[in-house]
Amino acid sequence: MLSKEEIKEIDKAISIAPYKKAASVEALKAVQQHRKWISDESLQEVASYLEMSAEELDSIATFYNLIFRQPVGKHIILVCDSISCWVMGHDKIKEKLSELLSIDYGQTTADGRFTMLPNPCLGTCDCAPAMMVGNDLYRNLKTEEIEKILNKYS
């Protein structure tokens, strides 16, 4: 069941839209904020609240790469793999992350702490290579700093 808080956030999005369905992206975002990912159950709950079919909502949920339809770790690592970061050493950063966490892109660590995903350009190309952990942006990354950065996230 959608929580009171989730409903409040979805209703806010509905209030500025001409019809309920138009709030679908905002609703998925709100529910993911609370539940970390969108399970089939979550999807059905949101869809029925927005008076649309679960299939239609799923076509939207699976389109956007930052709506997660699979369980994810506590912290999401988004590694920029676009051109400026690639030139400035993305591959080494990714290799180091994989080595420290024993996971590849799209995987979650055994302890559920991190999910690592490649992400298109983070818009900080003058400070490449870059990555985000949760809401925090790290720029001008050096491989030797990565372990220390990861240790900040319990």
Partner 1 sequence: MEKPLTQHLRPDGKPLSLKEYEQVGGYQALKKVVKMTPQEVQTLVKDSNLKGRGGAGFNTGLKWSFVPMNVPKPKYLIANADEMEPGTFKDRVLLEQTPHQLIEGMIIAAFAIQASEAFVFLRWAYKTAAEEIERAIHEAHEAGYLGKNIAGSGFELEMHLHTGVGRYMCGEETALLNSLEGKRATPRAKPPFPQVSGLFGKPTIVNNVETLCCLPHIVNNGAEWFKKLSLTQDAGTKIYGVSGKVKKPGAWELPMGVTLRELIEEHAGGMQDGLKFRGALPGGASTDFLVEEHLDVKMDFASVAAVGSRLGTGTVVVLDDQTCPVGFVKNLEHFFAQESCGFCTPCREGLPWIEKILESIENGKGREEDIKLLDAHTRLLGPGNTFCALAPGAMEPLQSALKYFRNDFEKHVKEKGCPHSKKSKYQIAN
**Beta strands 136-138 and 131-133, pairing class:** antiparallel
Is 65 a binding residue for partner 1 by CB under 8 A? The answer is: yes
Position among 9, 10, 24, 133 found at the interface with partner 1 (CB under 8 A): 24
Is 72 a binding residue for partner 1 by CB under 8 A? The answer is: no
Position among 3, 48, 53, 59 found at the interface with partner 1 (CB under 8 A): 59
Is 83 a binding residue for partner 1 by CB under 8 A? The answer is: yes
Position among 63, 102, 111, 151 found at the interface with partner 1 (CB under 8 A): 63
CB of 110 to partner 1, least distance (A): 26
Between the alpha carbon of residue 99 and those of residues 65, 89, 94, the distances in Å are 25, 16, 8
* Residues pairing with 79 in the sheet: 118, 131
Is 67 a binding residue for partner 1 by CB under 8 A? The answer is: yes
CB of 78 to partner 1, least distance (A): 7
Rounded distance, CA 83 to CA 120, Å?
9
Is 84 a binding residue for partner 1 by CB under 8 A? The answer is: yes
Q: In the complex with partner 1, which residue's Cβ is closer, 6 or 81? A: 81
Tell me if residue 19 falls in helix, strand or coil: coil
CB of 93 to partner 1, least distance (A): 14
Rounded distance, CA 135 to CA 74, Å?
12
Rounded distance, CA 77 to CA 101, Å?
11
- Site stretch for partner 1 (CB under 8 A), options 13-21, 69-77, 95-103, 104-112: 13-21
Question: Which region holds residue 102: left if phi is over 0, alpha if psi is between -120 and 50, else beta?
Answer: left
Is 79 a binding residue for partner 1 by CB under 8 A? The answer is: no
